[in-house]
Amino acid sequence: MAEPKENLQMEKIVSLCKRRGFVFQSSEIYGGLNGFWDYGPLGAELKRNVKELWWHAMTRQRDDVAGLEATIIMSPKIWEASGHVATFSDPMIDCKTCKGRFRADQTDEIACPQKPSKCVNECHGEKTEARAFNLMFQTYVGPTATAADIAYLRPETAQAIFAQFKNVLETSRQKVPFGIAQVGKAFRNEVTPRNFTFRSREFEQMELEFFIKPDEVIEAIHGSVATVPETGHPGEPQPNWGWQAWHHYWVEERVRFYEGIGLSRETLGFHHQTPAELAHYARACTDILFKFPFSKKDAAGNVIGDELEGIAARSDFDLSQHQRFSGKPMGVFDDELRAAWAKLPKEKQDDLWKRYYDHRKNYLTKSAKPDETPEQISQQATNDANGLAKGQYIPHVIEPSAGVDRLILALIANAYSEVTETDDKGKSETRVTMKFHPRVAPIKVAVLPLMKNKPEIVQKAEAVRALLRPWMNVFYDEAGSIGRRYARQDEAGTPFCVTIDFDTLGEKPELLDTVTLRYRDDGKQERLKISELLDFLLSKTR
Ligand code: GAP
């Protein structure tokens, strides 16, 4: 049976990744470890660029976001509070015939260990009942390895942000609305890692928790909550934005980010989670999808895409949980709210109080511990709503949460382009060009001396490399014909090649100290002064 086209495309991508050093199988010499991947020299640069660009866009270019770098292993109480210990699981089933282990919701897509194809299609074995399998990797802290020493490798970076919310608030001089950003490793013992790096067991996340005022607080201070147009970027944040405007803003900001690194809107898709899909505390979640070669099509034949990033409006659930589990207050004090509340008409106060009370009671009821009575819950909700008059509330959160590895895979799939040319002897050759946006490209520029046995040319080329190297990743290559060297750089995705030749040395006096600049995507070449090279390259790659 012919291989579906999209699988062939993935095969080519996986093969290029290994051949050129983007991604290797982890522990390959020992047969690999399912769900774990290493980034080779080009992949490591690509990944570093992506994380750096995210960090830059999310923290340094904004006044309202601070950074955090927390540990991977944290108090296990964090994962009790977050709900991961109780509910972070996938439904798992076993096949009694082939002994394969599958996710109950994905049996039609998973390789059967007995036959290298599909379990349901090939094996049709009887399956066990589905049972919950917790995805967190467990370990022990300290030498005794008893149940009391159990700890987890974090399954998301987000929880450290919530746990450190107060410390960051107090040390960064930020005020709500503001965000805390973190990039780092996350671990999930996925039942079925698949689609190359798309679903891995060890991966990296880039997460922002953006803390906002509850809508009742906005209404108390500003009279009403602003509405923003449903499509397009809503512009600069405004003080009267409620959660919907902020959620919409962050979706659009993130799309802009992806566009800025070469993923056009046409390559992306959106999934607005339905009420049935949403977590009980979430108000909305928009997934930004990328149309991967393995992504499914809808009934009309359009590629749907798979999740690159989720942007969730998580209400005040996370901070509330940590407040309840740690006993430490997670609320903030807002002078503006206190002053505004005192001036509100009684009916407005009552209306806002009741809405805030209902929201808190709803949360407290759903998250109640077994020993909590309805009276205690009502009393707590009353205390929380009374806090508004004193200027106190627990911030709500909008969470744009992206996976680094999925983005790397998207960038690689998006960049992959091949041309097959047949020469006059009928011999055909396929050449691959990785059309990365210059901002993410692993190598920004290749410096190529035309001949390696001409000391003046080599010296000049080395001087050009020395000029550029403090600013960007430069590759120096003097081996092989210039055509082959260009082809190697095209495959690595290097957007610019600079050739130093006899004209650089002044063979044509008017071309002294100029180089040939070659553009990867169309092969066009032009002459540029060495003195203008750095500014040109910086303008294209930053
Ligand atoms: N704090 C929210 C959170 O972790 P998530 O949707 O479970 O939400 C966020 O994960 C992002 O992390 C996903 O959109 C995806 O890009 C990435 N991600 C999640 N699981 C992954 C896995 N097993 N392998 C690679 N990336 C993953």
Is residue 99 left, alpha or beta, with left meaning phi > 0 and alpha meaning psi from -120 to 50? left
Atom of ligand 1 nearest to the CA of 401: 9
Using an 8 Å Cβ cutoff, are 527 and 516 in contact?
yes
**Amino acid at residue number 494:** T
**Amino acid at residue number 116:** P
Round to whole Å and give the CA distance between 235 and 246.
11
Find the 35 Cα to ligand 1 centroid distance in Å.
14
pLDDT at 178: 98
User: If you average pLDDT over residues 2-21, what whole number do you get?
Assistant: 87
Query: Which residue's CA is the closest to the ligand 1 atom numbered 1?
Result: 158
Number of Cβ within a 10 Å radius of residue 464: 25
Round to whole Å and give the CA distance between 175 and 288.
28
Is 60 exceeded by the pLDDT of residue 3? no
Query: Which residue's CA is the closest to the ligand 1 atom numbered 2?
Result: 401
| Cα angle: 287, vertex 290, 291; to 5 degrees | 130
**Amino acid at residue number 484:** R
Atom of ligand 1 nearest to the CA of 307: 14
User: If you average pLDDT over residues 323-342, what whole number do you get?
Assistant: 98
Using an 8 Å Cβ cutoff, are 447 and 468 in contact?
yes
Pocket test for ligand 1, best of 203, 281, 306 (most atoms within 8 A of CB): 203
Query: Which residue's CA is the closest to the ligand 1 atom numbered 14?
Result: 309
Of residues 128 and 496, more confidence is placed in 496
Q: Which residue in this structure is represented by tokens 């009279």?
A: 223
Round to whole Å and give the CA distance between 38 and 26.
5
Atom of ligand 1 nearest to the CA of 156: 4
Pocket test for ligand 1, best of 156, 271, 409 (most atoms within 8 A of CB): 156
User: How far are the Cα atoms of 325, 382, 466 from residue 379, in angstroms, in the given order?
Assistant: 18, 5, 69
Q: Label residue 499 exposed, middle or buried (CB < 10 Å: 0-12, 13-18, 19+).
A: buried
Preceding amide of 177 cis, omega within 30? yes
Find the 114 Cα to ligand 1 centroid distance in Å.
30
Atom of ligand 1 nearest to the CA of 404: 16
Tell me the pLDDT tens digit for each residue of 405-439: 999 999 999 999 999 989 899 999 999 999 999 99
Query: Which residue's CA is the closest to the ligand 1 atom numbered 6?
Result: 310
Number of Cβ within a 10 Å radius of residue 279: 14
Number of Cβ within a 10 Å radius of residue 437: 20
Find the 402 Cα to ligand 1 centroid distance in Å.
7
Residues in contact with ligand 1 by the CB-under-6-Å rule are: 156, 158, 188, 190, 199-200, 203, 205, 207, 307-310, 399, 401-403, 405-406
Atom of ligand 1 nearest to the CA of 188: 23
pLDDT at 44: 98
Atom of ligand 1 nearest to the CA of 403: 16
Rounded to two decimals, the pTM is 0.94
Rounded to 10 deg, the angle between the 374-387 and 346-366 helix axes is: 140
Tell me the pLDDT tens digit for each residue of 97-117: 877 777 877 655 555 555 444
**Amino acid at residue number 10:** M
pLDDT at 104: 78
Using an 8 Å Cβ cutoff, are 433 and 461 in contact?
no
Tokens of 345: 């008409």
Round to whole Å and give the CA distance between 17 and 197.
11
pLDDT at 90: 84
Using an 8 Å Cβ cutoff, are 260 and 324 in contact?
no
Pocket test for ligand 1, best of 23, 205, 281 (most atoms within 8 A of CB): 205
Round to whole Å and give the CA distance between 206 and 47.
12
pLDDT at 425: 93
What percent of the chain has a predicted confidence (pLDDT) above 90? 89
Query: How many Å separate Cα 395 from the centre of its chain?
Result: 24
Find the 398 Cα to ligand 1 centroid distance in Å.
16
Find the 198 Cα to ligand 1 centroid distance in Å.
10
Tell me the pLDDT tens digit for each residue of 353-393: 999 999 999 999 999 989 999 999 999 999 999 999 999 99
Is residue 89 left, alpha or beta, with left meaning phi > 0 and alpha meaning psi from -120 to 50? beta
Least confident of 24-33, 40-49, 126-135, 481-490: 126-135
Round to whole Å and give the CA distance between 378 and 364.
9
